[in-house]
């Protein structure tokens, strides 16, 4: 098998390039041509939109996106981005199942005005249970050599009026962006963060490690600090005000790896004409990742807080 990135040839049974670790996509499903999940766009309203894309190097899209807008006395927006763990089987389906379960749970909670932090925890729990309950073999493109149970990251936002509540598991992220503001709202549950914050390794040392991209928590039976049990993940939840003119961006690492600083993402948004709808902004961010290599699936979802009544 020839690596699409470095050109190195690996034995036919290998699923990852022996030299640079790029996935070697060979199964028959890949040969079957483009899939419905390769490029997904959603825009429930003019102020909420998102794009999930396979990227340039992966055989299929294991990111999932789910957006919803509803009027519950006031406008309620729900955003979910999940990123299937690539070493696990059924991850594509896990990400989709988790995203849908989270969206449904958050909407239900919003309808009964449930306390947002509590709603977020319940939604992540619901996503975890839904993924754990998945039967085997659901992947659109089965990958029988994957041995780990399914799992995915999750970042979700419940926005009601001017208040956003963000919950996450793993390294999918949320940012708050405005002309004068670029703020990362989440803190990755990642091996990198753990060893750097504990002082064990310098950021440079950690980045050079094969574990550099490892996450420490996932949704689903794929667990990292567990001995055979499937305990639910412990999401972090934060709340913040979303003022008029603010953008809330949720994305998978397929995007932020190309723009690791919040300011870089803000700059990318600023390069677009003022008033560009969130769907088109999301497209531009996904395009940016793909033109920079697109080595991973890439997903971006954006909510724009418009002046009420305008």
Partner 1 sequence: MTLDTASQPFNLEAYYTPTLPESGDHLTVILAVEAAAGDMVASAQERVLVFIIDKSGSMQGRPIDAVRDSVLRGISMCDPDMTIAVVAFDETASVLVRPQKADERGQQEAAQNLQWLHAGGGTAFSTGLDLARQIFANYPDAVRRAIFLTDGVNETERPGRFEPVLHGCVGVFECDCWGLGTKWRVGEVQEIARALNGKASLIPGPQEIESTFSAAIQKAASKAVADVRLRLWTPQTTQVTLVKQMNPTIEELTSTGSRPNPRTLEFGIGSWAPGEARDYQLDLQVTPGSIGEELLAVRPSVVFRQQGQEHEVRLPTGRVVVTWTTDEALSSRINPRVAHYTGQEELAQAIQAGLQARERGDDDAATHLLGKAVKLANDSGNDEMTARLKKVVDVDDAATGTVRLKRGVSDAATMDLELESTTTKRAVRRPV
Contacting positions for partner 1 (CB under 8 A): 112-118, 121, 160-161, 163
> Which of residues 110 and 195 has its CB atom nearest to partner 1 in the complex?
110
Contact 306, 47 (CB under 8 A): yes
DSSP 220: S
DSSP-derived secondary structure letter, 72: E
Shortest separation between residue 121's beta carbon and partner 1, angstroms: 8
- Record the tokens describing residue 136, joined without a space: 């085997």
Q: Given the complex with partner 1, which of 102 and 190 has the nearer CB atom?
A: 102
- Confirm if 202 and 157 have CB atoms less than 8 A apart: no
Distance CA 168, CA 81 (A): 9
Minimum distance from CB of 116 to partner 1 (Å)?
Answer: 6
The DSSP-derived string for 123-163 is HHHHHHHHHHTPPS---SS--TT--BPP-EEEEEEEEETTE
Give the full edge-to-edge strand order of the sheet including 74-84.
Answer: 63-72, 74-84, 152-160, 163-169, 236-241
Between 160 and 283, CB nearer to partner 1? 160
Select 161 or 293, whichever has its Cβ closest to partner 1: 161
For partner 1, the closer of residues 112 and 307 by Cβ is: 112
- What six digits make up the tokens of 263? 């300011």
CA distance 279 to 276: 8
Closer residue to partner 1 in complex, CB, 210/309: 309
Largest pairwise CA distance in the chain: 61
Report, in Å, the least distance between residue 163 CB and partner 1.
7
CA–CA distance, 92 with 123 (Å, rounded to integer): 19
- Cβ of residue 115: shortest distance to partner 1, in angstroms? 4
Nearer to partner 1, 121 or 292 (CB): 121
To partner 1, the closest distance from the beta carbon of 67 in angstroms equals 22
Query: Shortest distance, CB of residue 88 to partner 1, whole angstroms?
Result: 30
Task: Please answer whether residues 92 and 141 qualify as being in contact, where contact means their C-beta atoms are separated by less than 8 angstroms.
Answer: yes
Q: How many CB atoms lie within 10 A of CB 55?
A: 26
**Shortest Å, Cβ 119 to partner 1:** 8
| Least distance between partner 1 and beta carbon 233 (Å) | 17
Choose between 46 and 163: whose C-beta lies nearer to partner 1: 163
Residue (of 303, 167, 133) closest to 235 by Cα position: 167
């Amino acid at each position: 098998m020839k690596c699409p990135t470095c050109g190195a040839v690996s034995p036919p049974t290998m699923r990852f390039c022996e030299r640079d670790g790029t996935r070697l996509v060979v199964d028959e499903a890949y040969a079957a041509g483009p899939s419905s999940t390769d490029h997904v766009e959603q825009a429930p309203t003019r102020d909420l939109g998102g794009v999930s894309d396979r990227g340039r190097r992966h055989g299929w899209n294991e990111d999932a996106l789910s957006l919803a807008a509803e009027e519950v006395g006031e406008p309620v927006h729900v955003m979910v981005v999940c990123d299937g763990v690539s070493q696990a089987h059924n991850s594509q389906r896990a990400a989709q199942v988790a995203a849908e379960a989270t969206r449904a749970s958050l909407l239900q909670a919003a309808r009964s005005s449930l306390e947002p932090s509590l709603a977020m925890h319940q939604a992540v729990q619901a996503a975890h249970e839904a993924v754990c309950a998945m039967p085997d073999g659901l992947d659109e493109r089965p990958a029988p050599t994957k041995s780990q149970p399914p799992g995915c990251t999750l970042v979700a936002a419940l926005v009601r009026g001017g208040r956003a509540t963000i919950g996450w598991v793993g390294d999918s992220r949320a940012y708050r962006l405005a002309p004068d503001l670029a703020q990362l709202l989440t803190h990755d549950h990642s091996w990198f963060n753990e060893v750097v914050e504990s002082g064990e390794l310098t950021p440079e040392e950690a980045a050079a490690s094969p574990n550099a991209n490892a996450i420490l928590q996932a949704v689903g039976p794929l667990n990292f600090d567990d001995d055979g049990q499937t305990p639910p993940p412990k999401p972090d939840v934060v709340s913040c005000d979303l003022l008029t003119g603010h953008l809330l961006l949720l994305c998978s690492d397929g995007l932020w790896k190309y723009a690791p600083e919040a300011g870089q993402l803000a700059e990318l948004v600023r390069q677009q004409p003022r008033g560009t709808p969130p769907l088109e902004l999301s497209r531009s961010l996904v395009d940016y990742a793909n033109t920079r290599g697109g080595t991973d699936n890439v997903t971006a979802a954006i909510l724009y807080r418009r002046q009420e009544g305008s």
